[in-house]
Amino acid sequence: MKIDKTVVIITGVGLAIGFAEALVYYNLGTNANKKGFKFGVPRGKELAKNMAVVLTTSALTALISYQIEKSLEAKQVAVIPA
């Protein structure tokens, strides 16, 4: 399968936004029972696991979006009379 630039763009944007979201949830969880809020970034295996989940979901979102777009384009072409 040829990689479409839209898939790459959506994956990249999804990765950036998804990682920011993951950091928010990570910090909310690590600061849940503390009086003060201290921002942090996970390290080592925990960072790798978070990145793997975000990359996977970003890639899936891009591929599914691409397939939906292609399906809609195909239906649109089929509907337009010649």
Kindly report, residue by residue over 25-52, the tens digit of the pLDDT.
Answer: 999 999 999 988 899 999 999 999 999 9
Q: What pLDDT is attached to residue 74? A: 78
Whether residue 45 lies inside any domain: the answer is yes
Residue whose tokens read 């337009």: 80
Whether residue 82 lies inside any domain: the answer is no
Distance CA 72, CA 77 (A): 9
Whether residue 80 lies inside any domain: the answer is no
Q: What pLDDT is attached to residue 71? A: 87
Interacting residues of 30 by C-beta distance below 8 A, sequence separation 6+? 40
The token duo for 54 is: 């975000």
Q: What pLDDT is attached to residue 70? A: 86
Q: What pLDDT is attached to residue 82? A: 56
The residue segments making up the domain with residue 55 are 5-75
Whether residue 70 lies inside any domain: the answer is yes
Residue whose tokens read 């928010």: 24
Average pLDDT over all residues of the chain: 86
Element (H, E) at 5: helix 5-30
Element (H, E) at 55: helix 44-79
Residue whose tokens read 């979102």: 61
pTM exceeds 0.85, yes or no: no
| Domain tally, the chain | 1
